């Protein structure tokens, strides 16, 4: 999916222009190959077909030469290669249609290849976040939602924490520099949640001593 398919977006990855007091601090998308491995089980699929091919070769050696037996395993390897290419293609389409965004107020996720949707998660709705980072710096950041916020696991897959279906946890899957992004999120979320706001007072004669409250 080409980026031109989203020309209608006033801001890349967002359904509407940001308010004047909000700005983007980070944007990114999943790494296609890493997404194929993490979300679509690419390594497991490849391993499965390799095992099938090896088993076929071993069984065939009882009735034919080793060279002929090895040829019997080729169809399984070809089938595995085709399947792997399909999974990589699906992951690539998903990655190109996905934009993860951090602003100073919220987490935004434009997801979906066939049916595009945008999730807006204010920091006050996120109780916790976890980062799983690999040596390559690629990793996944999952967000634990609090309050009445509920998301559909099927609608948001693969941009979720795997197997957490009862309480879906949206996630930035397979992103680069995951540790840095997690730090940006933590700093922005802490600032936003504990940002002091001045609340209007209806009657100045009965005003409390301190009119500033934490948001």
The answer to whether residue 128 sits within a structural domain is: yes
Q: Are 102 and 185 in contact (CB under 8 A)?
A: yes
Do 22 and 104 lie in a common domain?
Answer: yes
> Can you give the residue range of the structural domain that contains 51?
34-94
The answer to whether residue 211 sits within a structural domain is: no
The answer to whether residue 38 sits within a structural domain is: yes
Do 90 and 104 lie in a common domain?
Answer: no
Alpha-carbon distance 72 to 54, whole Å?
Answer: 9
The answer to whether residue 13 sits within a structural domain is: yes
> Domain holding 144: CATH number?
2.30.29
Instruction: Give the predicted TM-score (pTM) of the model.
Output: 0.81
| Strand, coil or helix: 143 | strand
Domain termination site, one of 67, 94, 121: 94
Domain termination site, one of 74, 94, 114: 94
Q: Who has greater pLDDT, 151 or 192?
A: 151
Do 181 and 110 lie in a common domain?
Answer: yes
Do 107 and 177 lie in a common domain?
Answer: yes
The answer to whether residue 53 sits within a structural domain is: yes
Do 89 and 160 lie in a common domain?
Answer: no
Q: Using the predicted structure, report yes or no on whether residue 153 has a pLDDT greater than 50.
A: yes
Work out how many domains the chain is built from and give that number: 2
Strands 24-28 and 117-122 turn out to be unpaired
Q: Are 11 and 17 in contact (CB under 8 A)?
A: yes
Do 7 and 76 lie in a common domain?
Answer: no
Q: Using the predicted structure, report yes or no on whether residue 49 has a pLDDT greater than 50.
A: yes
Instruction: Give the mean pLDDT of 24-35.
Output: 95
Helix ranges (H only) for the chain are 32-40, 42-60, 66-72, 74-96, 153-156, 178-193
Instruction: Give the mean pLDDT of 155-173.
Output: 91
The two three-digit tokens of residue 113, written as one number: 């290849």
The answer to whether residue 206 sits within a structural domain is: no
Considering only CA atoms, which of 96, 93, 77, 80 is closest in space to residue 41? 80
Considering only CA atoms, which of 35, 176, 182, 7 is closest in space to residue 102? 182
Residue tagged 């700005």 (tokens): 23
């Amino acid at each position: 999916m080409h980026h031109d398919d989203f020309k209608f977006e006033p801001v890349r990855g967002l359904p509407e222009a940001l308010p004047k007091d909000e700005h983007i601090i980070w944007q990114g998308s999943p790494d296609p190959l890493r997404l194929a491995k993490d979300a679509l089980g690419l390594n497991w699929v490849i391993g499965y077909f390799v095992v099938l091919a090896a088993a076929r070769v071993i069984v065939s050696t009882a009735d034919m030469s080793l060279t002929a037996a090895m040829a019997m395993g080729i169809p399984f390897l070809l089938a595995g290669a085709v399947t792997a290419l399909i999974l990589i293609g699906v992951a690539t389409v998903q990655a190109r249609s996905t934009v993860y965004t951090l602003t100073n107020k919220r987490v935004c996720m434009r997801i979906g290849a066939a049916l595009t949707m945008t999730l807006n998660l204010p920091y006050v709705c996120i109780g916790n976040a976890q980062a799983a980072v690999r040596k390559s710096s690629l990793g996944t950041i999952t967000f634990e939602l609090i309050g009445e916020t509920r998301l559909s696991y099927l609608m948001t897959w693969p941009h979720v924490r795997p197997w957490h279906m009862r309480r879906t946890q949206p996630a930035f899957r397979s992103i680069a520099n995951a540790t840095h992004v997690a730090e940006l999120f933590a700093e922005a979320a802490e600032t936003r949640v504990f940002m002091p706001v001045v609340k209007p007072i209806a009657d100045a004669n009965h005003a409390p001593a301190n009119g500033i409250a934490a948001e």
